[in-house]
Structure 1
Amino acid sequence: MSSLVLAWRIVGVVIILFMQSVTATDCACELAGGGKPFPKDKLLSIETSAIKCNENIQLAKVSEEASLRLGLHKRLLQLQDEVSVLEQEDDGGLYGAVSLRIIEMELAEILQLINRLNTTHNMHRSLGANVHGTMQQVQAELKSLEEFDHMQIAQKLEENKRLQRSLAQCQEELQATPPPPTPPPSNCPHGPLIRVDGPRTYTITQYGTSYHYGSWGRDPKPARGKEGWYWLIPLTSSNVYANYVRQYNSLSALVAGVGPVDVSIASANPTTNTIQGPNVVMYGDALYYGCYNSPTVCRFNLTSRQVTTVALPANSGINNKFPFCHLGACYVYTDLDLMTDDSGVWVAYTSAENFGDVMLNQVESGDVPRLGRTLKTSLHKRTATNTFMACGVLYATRYVDKETEEVFYSFDSRTGVERHNLNIRFKKMQTNIHSLNYDPSDHKLYAYSDAYAVSYDAIFE
């Protein structure tokens, strides 16, 4: 036998002897808790006190005093009726004597009832004081027992009860009939703007991608025979200026770029009466735009070919002082924004005196246009990328990303109510929207976006 085999046998014998010795030996250990023992006698005492209070305050005992009061009230009314009868029918003889004796007995019973009521009242008063003291003591003792609640079961039970109450309250609110919706503060029959759908039109103009800035749309109050016409103004000089307007007799003609009708406003760019900036609108067969190098609104009548002007308040921002912006860039020469809605033409702008917050005026028509009253908002102009009017409400958009624009702000020109949380997002087809205007005649938004003509549906409540 080899030495290796002999060694393994010796190891096996040692293991067997060790296991036998372990099996034959009893193993015991003492478990000692580190904390104080739980006072179960104290808990039983608290339980006994609570049971005794519950027995003392029973519904029958609590209602006893109320029953005695009600009985006393009825007996007094009955006694009053009997005295009244005696006064009317007293004959001064036997009947009166008998009635008086009955009333005397009634009074004695009433006095007994009053004494019983007083006794019961005093007993209940004493009982209430004793129960109050006992409950305060029970509450204090229960509070002292919380130190033994190492798993915080009591605290979790209270939290569960609180959550159950909150859940029950939420369920009641969900099951309750909701109140009727609050009407919007505006008098607009459409209600507020709730969604922007589209695009409905998306086409590059016949100018191609040469001119990124411009505007297009329809005349909400067209001249006779021009009801279906569209107009287009690309800023053909440095993305800043234009001196003519191009018109098409249909949307398909604009998309195809055929049959345009050009009307010149000025002889050259830039010069007097030149269009400055992309925010241009047409209303009543007249073009409204920011005048060249001046805080002034120009109105060009397409029929008479005449230009009339109305000056904005002194120190109004022009020449890129207060353009529309987002974090990446600003849209040049957008200090003035001309807009149309159901009531006519509006202009949005700002000044250093108003700390860059948007100011709003309606451009009132006449032989010479003039400004209505000035409305001031809390919207800082550089935080928005565009504004438009719809039914007397100013809406503002901001740049979210290359594919998304958001209508985030509104200002009601009638009530002065502002909202900064509209969160109405819509899809962009190009990165930037350089002009945006609402047409109340077809409820569409017309955008000029990096040389593309785009339209959207404005959905109201």
Structure 2
Amino acid sequence: MVTSHNRSIPKGAGNLESQLLGLKFRLPQLLKDVSILEKEDDGELYGVVSLQVIENELVEIKNIVDKLNRTTQEFQHLTTDSGRQLMQLKAELQELEQYDSLQVEKSRKANQRLKRDLEICRNDAHNTQPTPHPDSGQTSDVCPHGKFVNITGPRFYSNGESTVNHKYGGWGRDPKPELGKENWYWRVILDVNNIYANHITFYSSLSSLTVGIKLPGNFYINPYNPTTNTIQGPNVVLYGDALFYNCYNFDQLCRFNVTSKTVSTLQLPQGTRYNSNGNFCQFSECYIYTDIDLATDESGVWLIYSTVHYFGNLVLAKVEGDPPTLNQTWHTSVYKQTVTNTFMAYGILYATRFVNNDMEEIFYSFDTSTGEEKFKLGIFFRKMCPDINFLNYSPRDQMLHVYCDGYMVSYDFLFE
């Protein structure tokens, strides 16, 4: 009877070398068995049994060949993918090298412009009255007609007494403080669900804020959560001893007077997106309850939002008075959900977008005095954490205040 030989290689072996070795011995033996069968076949049981053995051997050999083909294809795909990734990495490295070179040259030219304009400012200072100091709550002591060109830092980085469970919030200084409150800092921390808060906390200095010494302490809007007057979302600002924020669960703007502890409201325009339906977003996620954004600059309080009627694009309005009202309104061409945050400086709206976990870009500006829009500002700054939940410019010290994942961060503004 014909028998099969060399079965030391296990059936279905995954090792490529073992499979190749199995084929090396099994194919010649199979040819030999077939030759014997052709010579000795008597057409009866002996031939049938021998043929069955050969058929089984053919099936096993075919399985090994199939596995070898699949393994070879996987190696080919792996080689192709690796080659493609190496080429992509090379291109990215070349692009990064070119970007770094451009940034160095841009920084050099920016420094030259700053030095030149500083000399102009110094010369003009001899012929004009000095501008008020930032602590007065009015305009800064930089050239009043200079434009924003860059930010540096971070200069300050701390989580104070916050925990990682409180990712959303806001902080800063009052651009128009009451007498005796010039050095105060404020902070609002949303609850663990990152939706609402019912009080604002004051600190007597930056060092007190850093170590978490709450003096003067908490000022409660309402001791119970949530109510109509509860803070919703992280985009809050303090101006003139009043906290401005989105009223909880309503398309309304709230103004909380810190001294009198009273709340006045403003009904927002019809079609305004609220309740997390028009948020700031990045590539993979949106920042919840950031529909209504508020900002401060040298002139006061600004409201940034989007509406159904204007296709979700950013809308900007000036907030005035108590109870608050909306003054002039501007419509922009940038879609709100392509933006991660906004801030105001000298009447100009700036918008940021997510680059990666380490970098953010200030890419857009809208000048309310001229209506001019710019989409390619290309001002990059390094982040201390991936997500920016709050962003606001402080005219008192020309700094950008950021709140991200429970941390407070600040950057220095550079004007021409």
Give the TM-score taking structure 2 as reference length: 0.65
Distance 2:263 2:211 in 1: 31
- Structure 1 position 425 matched with structure 2 position 380: yes
Contact 1:266 1:272 in 2 (8 A): no
Give, in angstroms, the shift of residue 237 of structure 1.
4.5
User: Please, what is the CA RMSD of the aligned residues?
Assistant: 1.4
Map 1:158-173 onto structure 2 (within 5 A): none
The C-alpha deviation readout for 1:344-383, integer Å capped at 9, x for no partner, is 0000001111000000100012x31110122100011001
Give, in angstroms, the shift of residue 194 of structure 1.
0.7
- Structure 1 position 265 matched with structure 2 position 221: yes
| Aligned with 1:284 (options 231, 240, 243) | 240
Aligned to 2:295: 339
Give, in angstroms, the shift of residue 439 of structure 1.
0.8
- Structure 1 position 227 matched with structure 2 position 182: yes
Structure 1 residues without counterparts, runs of 5 or longer:
1-179, 182-187
The C-alpha deviation readout for 1:232-267, integer Å capped at 9, x for no partner, is 101014101000000000000010111331000122
Aligned to 2:264: 308
- The residue identity in structure 2 corresponding to 1:351 is T
Report % sequence identity. 51
- The residue identity in structure 2 corresponding to 1:397 is T
| Aligned with 1:443 (options 368, 378, 398) | 398
Map 1:51-450 onto structure 2 (within 5 A): 189-260=144-215, 261-365=217-321, 367-450=322-405
The C-alpha deviation readout for 1:371-400, integer Å capped at 9, x for no partner, is 012210001100100000000000000110
Distance 1:364 1:377 in 2: 21
Matched pairs, number = 275
Distance 1:207 1:447 in 2: 15
- The residue identity in structure 1 corresponding to 2:306 is T
Give the TM-score taking structure 1 as reference length: 0.59
Distance 2:218 2:169 in 1: 15
The C-alpha deviation readout for 1:203-255, integer Å capped at 9, x for no partner, is 01202212000000000001110100000101014101000000000000010
SS of the aligned residue for 2:209 comes to helix
The C-alpha deviation readout for 1:309-351, integer Å capped at 9, x for no partner, is 1111111000111100011110000000010001000000011
The C-alpha deviation readout for 1:149-184, integer Å capped at 9, x for no partner, is xxxxxxxxxxxxxxxxxxxxxxxxxxxxxxx99xxx
Contact 2:160 2:209 in 1 (8 A): yes
The C-alpha deviation readout for 1:260-287, integer Å capped at 9, x for no partner, is 3100012222212000000000000000
SS of the aligned residue for 1:280 comes to strand
Aligned to 2:66: none
Contact 2:236 2:294 in 1 (8 A): yes
- The residue identity in structure 2 corresponding to 1:279 is N
SS of the aligned residue for 1:331 comes to coil
SS of the aligned residue for 2:146 comes to coil
Contact 1:204 1:453 in 2 (8 A): yes
Distance 2:145 2:282 in 1: 30
Contact 1:266 1:273 in 2 (8 A): yes
Distance 1:266 1:388 in 2: 28
Contact 1:384 1:396 in 2 (8 A): yes
Distance 1:458 1:294 in 2: 34
SS of the aligned residue for 1:232 comes to strand
SS of the aligned residue for 1:382 comes to helix
Structure 2 residues without counterparts, runs of 5 or longer:
1-115, 118-142
Give, in angstroms, the shift of residue 190 of structure 1.
4.4
Give, in angstroms, the shift of residue 191 of structure 1.
2.1
Query: Where is the helix percentage greater, Structure 1 or Structure 2?
Result: 1
The C-alpha deviation readout for 1:90-129, integer Å capped at 9, x for no partner, is xxxxxxxxxxxxxxxxxxxxxxxxxxxxxxxxxxxxxxxx
Distance 1:266 1:407 in 2: 36
